[in-house]
Amino acid sequence: MKNILRRQLKILKTAKMAHGEENILTLSLQMLLIVLLIFMSDNGYLTIFMPVAIIPGILFKSVRENIYFWVFISFMSCTFYLVRDLDGYVPNHKHVFAYVILMITISLLFKSKTNRLTFIKKQSKYIIGLIFLFALIGKILAPEFLNGSFFQFTNTTDPRFFGFSSLIGHVDFSLLKDNEQNLSMLLNTNNPGENFLLHGPDGIKMFGIIISYWTIFIEGMIAISFCMPSRFLIAKYRNIFLVTFILTTYPIATVTGFAIILTTLGFMQSIVENKFSWYSWFYLMVYILLPLNHFPFTRLLTMF
Amino acid sequence: MTTKSALLKTIIPIIMVFFFIRNLVLVETHHMDSWMGGGMRMFAKIDKMIYRVAGFEVNYNNKTYFVNLRNIPELEEEDVAARILPSKNRLNKILYKVKEYDWCYNINTESIQLKKDDDTCQELIKKDAIIKLKVYAINYNNQSNNVDLKQLN
């Protein structure tokens, strides 16, 4: 009798865990599909076919967990984001979309129901680790990044950083606008011999160097902690590094497409024993609040 | 661990590494934009396709004119492709496409432009006067704060 009760309890526990796993998998897939619905509209084919496929996927479980559905999404993403990626403008986060879609397709094709979430969790961890490892190597290979001139140039010509630059470097906003206009004129010129003088980079010179080395440090820590197997001590702190990166980067750099897929992957790998961790809640909150990224916080700060 | 499970575990990292290595190679050999091609090397180099200028040179009346493809909406796709990967092969194909259009010299603006039916621009450009497609990258000097264009190909 005791044994039967124990067995029943075990079955109940397994069923509860499986139910938790199913809910988390459902939420992860829905989060991903919403990202794809918003951002996969690079050309006529994607603009027409993706909503037609994705909306039923978000709404109905039978579609969402159908392998043919994911094979179709994989085909579309691989064709436009991996095979024809050099024919038109395909930013890096679109490659990440394709990797994540492939990961889901593989998990549905080859993994049993009970192993899917574990597979997705591990793969998400490695995808994040490799993204930051490549980004880190890219920065080390760029001399203008190491001497700070990348941020000097970018923060004084790219309007996404103007609020921050005028706040930190006390650079007149109208001068930054002049830089933007001069750069635009140079890019549209019919005389390649033209040039212009950049306003304001000296004001953020020191800041450019500090931010460069901070970026190298934090991206390096993310790369190491996410690529290392979980048994290593540093791997246990990986979410702290990623959360720090998100908090210090995305309020300033409004790169929503990359931020949202990174947050989705962050959420997928942060699940512990089929339950939300504190980090899962954080990634979920960031995912929901990311549209605020377009709000000019730093520009508002300069007004006070 | 079985071969199948090892393959499933490593397939996506292998694809990612492939795109990263391809990025490194194409940047060095064909001046590809380092931000593109899945190399994840964004926010590292100032040079990126958005800050590049692609255009072609025309010899007309003993003078060389540059036509920026950004200003020709009909060739938008070619402009983007040239700025992403200005390889010899790709630029030759684009130059061939450029020559398929009729170009003319506008006396008022002293520039070469695409010939349109309602145009006042009448002086047609011969196909062999279109000589070369060029791609330039932004060049920032952090000592003088000067920004100009540097030829890539």
- Do B19 and B34 contact (CB within 8 A), yes or no? no
Report which of residues A218 and A166 the model is more confident about: A218
A82 Cβ contact partners less than 8 Å away, ≥ 6 residues apart:
A95, A98, B15, B19, B38
pLDDT of residue A302: 57
Total-model pTM: 0.91
Last residue of a domain, one of A78, A110, A142: A110
pLDDT of residue A288: 94
**Hey, are the CB atoms on B16 and A99 less than 8 Å from each other?**
yes
Q: Is residue A159 part of a domain?
A: yes
**Hey, are the CB atoms on B46 and A154 less than 8 Å from each other?**
yes
pLDDT of residue A21: 84
Q: Answer whether residue A16 shows pLDDT above 80.
A: no
**Hey, are the CB atoms on B44 and A186 less than 8 Å from each other?**
no
Last residue of a domain, one of A59, A91, A110: A110
Predicted-assembly ipTM surpassing the 0.85 threshold? yes
Tell me, rounded to whole angstroms, the distance of Cα A207 from its chain centroid.
25
Distance from CA of B17 to the nearest CA of A (A): 8
pLDDT of residue A170: 86
Distance from CA of B142 to the nearest CA of A (A): 6
- Do B57 and B125 contact (CB within 8 A), yes or no? no
Most B-contacting residue of A78, A85, A92 (CB-CB within 10 A), to test interface: A92
Q: Is residue A199 part of a domain?
A: yes
**Hey, are the CB atoms on A82 and B15 less than 8 Å from each other?**
yes
- Looking at the partner chain, which of B37, B84, B146 has a beta carbon nearest the beta carbon of A197? B146
pLDDT band at A192 (very low <50, low <70, confident <90, very high): very high
Q: Is residue A43 part of a domain?
A: yes
Residue % of chain A over a pLDDT of 90 = 76
Which residue type sits at A241?
Answer: F
**Hey, are the CB atoms on A189 and B140 less than 8 Å from each other?**
no
- Looking at the partner chain, which of A106, A149, A187 has a beta carbon nearest the beta carbon of B8? A106
- Do B57 and B65 contact (CB within 8 A), yes or no? yes
In total, the C-beta contacts within 8 angstroms joining chain A to chain B are 174
Q: Is residue A11 part of a domain?
A: no
Provide the number of structural domains found in chain A.
2
Instruction: Examine the domain organization and report whether A219 and A289 are in the same domain.
Output: yes
Write phi, then psi, for A193 (nearest 5 degrees): -85, -5
- Looking at the partner chain, which of B19, B46, B85 has a beta carbon nearest the beta carbon of A150? B46
Q: Which residues of A touch B138 (CB under 8 A)?
A: 183, 186
Separation CA A261–CA A297 (nearest Å): 22
pLDDT band at A164 (very low <50, low <70, confident <90, very high): confident
Instruction: Give the three-class secondary structure for A270.
Output: coil
pLDDT band at A247 (very low <50, low <70, confident <90, very high): very high
**Hey, are the CB atoms on B15 and A99 less than 8 Å from each other?**
yes
- Looking at the partner chain, which of B66, B84, B140 has a beta carbon nearest the beta carbon of A191? B66
Instruction: Examine the domain organization and report whether A63 and A178 are in the same domain.
Output: no
Q: Which of A124, A139, A141, A138 is nearest to A227 (CA)?
A: A124
Instruction: Examine the domain organization and report whether A49 and A197 are in the same domain.
Output: no
pLDDT band at B108 (very low <50, low <70, confident <90, very high): confident
Separation CA A180–CA A171 (nearest Å): 14
Across the beta sheet with B52-60, the strand order is A195-197, B146-151, B130-141, B52-60, B63-68
Instruction: Examine the domain organization and report whether A72 and A140 are in the same domain.
Output: no
Handedness of CA A287, A276, A111, A229 (dihedral sign): positive
Q: Which residues of B touch A194 (CB under 8 A)?
A: 148-149
Report which of residues A11 and A292 the model is more confident about: A292
Question: Domain containing A285: what range?
Answer: 120-304
pLDDT band at A299 (very low <50, low <70, confident <90, very high): low
Most B-contacting residue of A86, A100, A102 (CB-CB within 10 A), to test interface: A86
Distance from CA of A134 to the nearest CA of B (A): 6
Q: Answer whether residue A274 shows pLDDT above 90.
A: no
Most B-contacting residue of A187, A205, A227 (CB-CB within 10 A), to test interface: A187
Instruction: Examine the domain organization and report whether A200 and A267 are in the same domain.
Output: yes
Instruction: Examine the domain organization and report whether A156 and A188 are in the same domain.
Output: yes
Residue % of chain A over a pLDDT of 70 = 90
User: What integer is the mean pLDDT of B41-65?
Assistant: 96
Domains of chain B, by residue range, sit at 1-45, 49-151
- Looking at the partner chain, which of B12, B45, B144 has a beta carbon nearest the beta carbon of A123? B12
